[in-house]
Structure 1
Amino acid sequence: MTGGESGTTTGGRTATDGGQRLVEGTILRGREFEPVEGRVVVEDGVIASVEEEPVESDDIVLPAFVNAHTHIGDSIAKEAGGGLSLEELVAPPNGLKHRLLRQASTEEKIAAMHRSLEFMAEAGTAAHIEFREGDVEGVKEIRAAGENVPVESVVLGRGSTDAMHAADGYGASGTNDADFERERAATAREGKLFGIHAGEVDSSDIDGAMDLDPDFLVHMVHPEPWHLDRLADAATPVAVCPRSNLVTDVGLPPVSELLERTSVALGTDNVFLNSPSMFREMEFAAKLFDVSATEVLRMATVAGADIAALNCGLVEPGRDAELVVLDGDSHNLTGAKDVVRAVVRRAGVDDIRAVVR
């Protein structure tokens, strides 16, 4: 409920007060997500201030999520290919995913991706980093799918360097498929983002991937000790996708060891294998790995934002006002003694009262 003349916001709804938007509740502030009672003041889409003071609201205010690794083109075939190996599922050019994509019409792919993006928006995701199959046409398809959906798609083209020119960068499959030196050099010349899969099935492609000096690596399930040393020396971020790794039976990334060396972000990977819900990914990571709830929330928000050079992912002045407001008095969250832990391990889409953009 909106509080009278002051324009103060409670109940997850935003209001205006002299051109400002105000959101009240328990705010998970800054990079440490310190819970403070108060309000977020938003001006022209940017967080102007976080005011700490008593408020009458049970809401929980946190930064919207940044999904650090997705393939949403395969939204056309959710839960296809049960029981297949990773190579049978996704290896180019004839893995099941690629065959299904070739068979689908442009209209079918755009419609399916649009639905996944709408779900992501409703589930509190502000942005995602997409490895987009289909070369230039694939980039055009996801741009069309994202029209009128309030999720920022950071698109990394795949295939020719033309796809990179049409996109925000290049997303390579792995150095066991090709050396990608030409694509890396072209991406660097344009100052765009270059990411590459590495260490998903085994360690054989990690050194080759790191030799390319990528902006980030994806998966890193099987690093050897010297790979961890290289990560620390280069400070190369890693996007991990533990639910996907479990489904494809390749093992699980050593998240604690990775976090000791570099920044680690969370991604949901292929939509045909997993729902693109960051709540589900956070809960899985928090309960499976020996990492704190604060670290997992950082992996789901600002770590991905840092990779893509986005100005969201934190509730602090100067950041874009991309916020998720949870009902702290929902049946699921009421009585929580540790707010950050409850958000990471327990909260879900049904607890969202509002997404502020």
Structure 2
Amino acid sequence: MQVEGTILTGRDFDPIEGRVVVEDGRIEAIERTATDSSDIVCPAFVNAHTHIGDSIAKEAGRGLSLDELVAPPDGLKHRLLRETSAEEKVAAMRRSLRFMESTGTAACVEFREGGVAGVEAFGRARDGLDVEAVVLGRETEAAMHASDGFGASGARDSDFAELRRATREADKLFGVHAGERDSHDVDGALDLDPDFLVHMVHATDEQLGRVAREELPIVVCPRSNLVTKVGAPPIAKLAEHTTLALGTDNVMLDSPSMFREMEFAAKLSDVSAEAVLRMATVNGAEIAGLDYGIVEEGTRAKLLVLDGDSDNLAGARDPVRAVVRRAGQADVKRVVL
């Protein structure tokens, strides 16, 4: 299989004219050659933080605070999840996963509520789809063992030390929410020695110094943070200290569109389009232990092909900025997963 056009290659997304040759699911070669194609070929996205179960409650909870919306066990989303049948949850999650696949998301890192049953329901929702998932169980050690790791709600919610120990012994991924409402739970989250942190809107300079020393990546979710009125993540400042990835967070609050998340992040912060595209692709892939998120020979072929001659993208002078700040679902020509 081959795809042609302007190819955004490597970690810096250097644009070259040519073709990508794919064999047995891997990028065999990237060939510079003249082509008539106006397509833009870039890595497929990795959505580094999702709560897909919330698909049963899109746009619910208008005007509620963060705690009223999502705090366990009695936030609105948790009440609605308890009231919804397993079949309805699976059907709703499947629709969100289909949307993600069609808009160029190769994989998501899912914080999965509902214990073992929740993990199994997510598996049923994804059955037969090409979008991959790194699923982090929640609430119980059994859910961690049934999934790819553990996704902790936050250090203020519970003592996760034993679950962290068990996750480490199982050699699985451990992520934790931190610094979303304020800085008070950040030190507790750091003490857990997580593999990555989520949000960090309100981390102090001292806490960010520790993040840098311990080389802990952060997943930011700017649209969600604005919707829940906790503030905007200081993306440029965070990026000075560590690797950042991008997530869309709760489907209840925002569509799981990486196009929308990238545009919002880019226009909200003083960081380059290349930095934002890394956040949406290779940085998330590396957090999740995935061998893609970059157009490079030898990696798995997870590619997004955009129509560079669409009414929206035609005339774009900078293909990376066009992908990050302008492209959308209507520009997707092909998704190679």
What TM-score does the superposition give when structure 2 sets the normalisation length? 0.99
Residues 127-183 of structure 1 show CA distances to partners (whole Å, capped at 9, x for unaligned) of: 000000001100000000000111111100001100000000000000100120011
Partner of 1:352: 332
Listed one character per residue, the Cα deviations across residues 220-242 of structure 1 (whole Å, up to 9, x for unaligned) are 00010111100110110000000
The runs of 4+ residues in structure 1 deviating greater than 6 Å are none
* Alpha-carbon distance in 1 for matches of 2:97, 2:239: 29
Q: Is this contact kept in 2: 1:26–1:61, CA < 8 A?
A: yes
1:85 aligns with 2:65: yes
1:103 has 2:83 as partner:
yes
Distance 1:350 1:79 in 2: 23
Amino acid at match of 1:249: K
Q: 2:139 — aligned with what? A: 159
Residue 51 in 1 paired to residue 31 in 2?
A: yes
Task: Give the number of aligned pairs.
Answer: 337
Offset of residue 124 of structure 1: 0.3
| Structure 2 counterpart of 1:265, one-letter code | A
Query: What TM-score does the superposition give when structure 1 sets the normalisation length?
Result: 0.94
CA contact (8 A) 1:179 1:208 kept: no
Q: Report the residue type matching 2:245 in the other structure.
A: A
Give the Cα separation in 1 of the matches to 2:167 and 2:320. 38
Partner amino acid for 2:301? A
Aligned to 1:16: none
The structure that has the greater radius of gyration is: 1
Matched, 1:145 2:122: no
Equivalent residue number for residue 202 of structure 1: 182
Secondary structure, in 3 states, of the residue corresponding to 1:261?
coil
- 2: CA distance, partners of 1:133 / 1:240: 20
For the pair 1:216 / 2:185, whether they are aligned, the reply is no
Long gaps (5+) in structure 2:
none
Output the CA distance in 2 between the equivalents of 1:209 and 1:164: 18
Q: Which of 268, 274, 289 is equivalent to 2:269?
A: 289
Q: Residue 236 of structure 1 aligns with which residue?
A: 216
The amino acid of 2:192's aligned partner reads L
For residues 24 and 150 of structure 1, the distance between their equivalents in structure 2, rounded to whole angstroms, comes to 22
Determine the structure 1 residue equivalent to 2:11. Answer: 31
Percentage of pairs with the same residue: 66
Match of 2:226 among 246, 250, 259: 246
Q: Deviations over 1:7-31 (max 9, x none)?
A: xxxxxxxxxxxxxx11100000000
Cα deviation per residue 1:323-347 (whole Å; 9 max; x = unaligned)?
0000000000000001100110000
Partner of 2:43: 63
Structure 2 Cα separation of the partners of residues 219 and 345 of structure 1: 22
Q: Which residue of 1 is the match for residue 114 of structure 2? A: 134
Partner in structure 1 of residue 151 of structure 2: 171
- Cα-to-partner distance string for 1:284-314 (whole Å, 9 max, x where unaligned): 0000100000000000000100000101100
Residue 308 of structure 2 aligns with which residue?
328
1:17 corresponds in structure 2 to none
- 1:98-149 deviation line (CA, Å, top 9, x unaligned): 0000000000000000000000000000000000000110000000000011
C-alpha distance in 1, partners of 2:182/2:299? 38
Distance 1:175 1:283 in 2: 31
- Residues in 2 aligned to 1:326 and 1:51: alpha-carbon distance in whole angstroms: 19
> Residue 187 of structure 1 corresponds to which residue in structure 2?
167
Secondary structure of 1:311's aligned partner: coil
Q: Is 1:308 aligned to 2:321, yes or no? A: no
